[in-house]
Structure 1
Amino acid sequence: MVSIQAKKACLHWFLNRHQVKQRDSLYLLHFLMREESLLTQVHFVYDVQYAPRGILISAEGANKPAFKFYKNHLVTTEVDKAFHDIRLNKDEPLYIELSFLGVKRSLDYHRVLEDNPFIPDDYYLNESDKQTIDALLNQTLSVGYETWLRKEIDRCLDEGDLDQFQVLSEQLTHYLTEDKHSVLDSTPLNKK
């Protein structure tokens, strides 16, 4: 959990080092710095557009819009609407993203950054990553299926269950001689 003092220090640092694109954003940030009860609800994150209630404020030179306020899938660029919502809903979490040149390398900003719990699970994965993960999962399932079959065959031998031994042996033979992926997709696991 990030302290109120750390959040204030970050906002102070940001305002002293960067010029915001939209002047009204200054008033909003100064208001937040003065209201400690509000700062307890503030969380600095990346990709604020996924949060249920968030603000994006950009400095000159950043490649993001000057200001955006997100609330439950509604978006506005009007600072006064965000200011009004913040004053009316002081007990609701507020997620803020500051955008400026060098944001990813800024230690001052990273000290207050928190994980954004609203980012979709696969947000940072590209198509190549997804294919690699699928291949790894298929390989893991394949090895696991073969291991399970062998253990079950050993169990059947130990228990003298020749009928189940025959079924599992045929599945293993088929699995080892056929395309392993198609066998995995079409062969039900005969667990007892």
Structure 2
Amino acid sequence: MTPRKGLDLPTIVAAAAGIADASGVEEVTLASLAQKLGVRSPSLYNHIKGLTGLRIQLAIYGLKKLTAVINDDLKDKEGDEAMLAIAAAYIAFARAHPGLYELTLRAPDTGEKEYAEAGRVLVDILVGTLSYYELDADMSIHIVRGFRSLLHGFASIEQKGGFGMPQAVDESLKIVLQAYLKGLRQS
């Protein structure tokens, strides 16, 4: 079957990302995507390997977008300033792209080379930023995991409406991150 003119993988992934961000990842189905694109579902199979393949492409797309946002905010920064910039970019991405963000959380299957590479690039940026603190390789991974967990917990609670107190949410994040980084400098 010949692919439909004007329909390509980037167009499909962008449309699916729009659905995920607007309505949630579970609303991304081949039927909803085909409807949004004005095609029949079978036309999508010329570009993706079913719903699983689409979700993998969405995760790659999300990881690349998150990496780009972090890189943009990270320029010419180091140490605590760099870590705070990464955190701000991460939280801003989670706020702006809740569906894509959800898809960036799972560790990629090593059999999916492009997916694994997109995840590795992001981890490498974080580990590289941590070189300022003169940590060994193993400790850097532990610190990346903790940092990511802190940010995900914050993003997740915020997305669920769990911060109902009047204090500024961004200020809370900054205070928690400063405490985390103070502990990092003391270790």
Output the TM-score relative to the length of structure 2.
0.22
More strand by proportion, 1 or 2?
1
Q: Report the structure, 1 or 2, having the larger helix content.
A: 2
TM-score (normalizing by structure 1):
0.21
Higher radius of gyration, 1 or 2:
1
